[in-house]
Every structure is written in structure tokens, then in C-alpha cells.
Amino acid sequence: MTTHQPWLPGDLRTLLGGLVLGATGLTIAWVGASGTTGWSSQLVWIALGGAAVIGSGLTNAAWLLRGYRSLRRRQRHLVHELRDEVTRTLAAGPEHSVGTEVEALVSGPRMSRYHRSDCLLVAGKATRPLSRGKPASRLAACGVCRP
């Protein structure tokens, strides 16, 4: 989904249309009721005003319902994707886990110790990964990152 909100442009048009109709109905009802003194004729305008409020309320409710449903649909979609990703990662085994990159061991040409790739002592330095992540016998483990 590429939109940045759970509604489509059509939903916004529907909402605005409903609100404009409601406001118009309320204005007409108010003007109509103000110009009459008879109870029966005022009741008609009251009914029109009530209908306008109910109509705009239903429009608001429909807007919120659309948004809520889009949100729930996307949540379900993401949960399924996450479940698939976890299943795929677990099935691939530890060698394929996303932590491999962080836990990989590295060393430099003139270094006497090997480090985790995220160790602060090798940050910004030219290093190369050790073959298959296993340190050579001549290298000692870093005392800071403790690989």
C-alpha cells in the first residue's frame, strides 16, 4: 500500500459531501424554524435538522469504519508477512540467520586479535572477515567485544 493514511480519496469526498450536506441542512432548518411561529411548521424544520445531524453522523461513522477496516486488514497482512519471515529464517538455520552479519568475526592485516564486526575497536578500520567466521590460531580474541 502506498497511501499514507487508511482512506482512499473517494472516502474523503464522501465524508466532506456528507458534512457539507449536514451543515447545509442545519442552516436551512435553523433559518426555516426562525421564520415561523407555528408549532407544526417548526416541527418540520426540527425534523430536517435532526435528519441532517443523523446523516452527517452516519457519514462520520462510515469514514471511521472504513479507516478501521483498512487498518485491521493491513495489520493482518503484516502479521502474516512477519510469520512467514520468521518461519523462513528459522527453517534456514543459524547460518542463515539475520544475526550472522553482526556476529561475524573480522580482523585486519596487522592486527593480533580478532573482533566481532560491530566491535568499536575495529570501527572505521580496514578489516576482512575471517574464513567461515573461525579465528586463525595466531589471533587472540578481543577483550572488549569478547567474540
Binding-site size, another protein (CB under 8 A): 59
Distance (Å, whole) CA 143 – CA 126: 19
Q: Is 95 among the residues that bind another protein (CB under 8 A)?
A: yes
Q: Which of 50, 112, 121, 136 binds another protein (CB under 8 A)?
A: 50
Among 23, 27, 29, residue whose Cα is nearest residue 46: 29
- Asked if residue 106 lies in contact with residue 141, where contact means CB atoms within 8 angstroms, the answer is no
Residue type, 41: S
Lookup: cell for 122: 575495529
Q: Pattern 18-37, binding to another protein, x per CB under 8 A?
A: -x--xx--x--xx--xx-xx
Distance (Å, whole) CA 26 – CA 19: 10
Q: Which of 16, 20, 68, 112 binds another protein (CB under 8 A)?
A: 68
Which of the residues 121 through 140 are near another protein (CB under 8 A)? 122-129, 132
Lookup: cell for 139: 589471533
DSSP state at residue 97: S
Applying CB under 8 A, which residues contact another protein?
4-6, 15, 19, 22-23, 26, 29-30, 33-34, 36-39, 42, 45-46, 49-50, 52-53, 56-57, 60, 63-64, 67-68, 71, 74-75, 78, 81-82, 85, 88-89, 92, 95-98, 100-101, 104, 106, 117-118, 122-129, 132
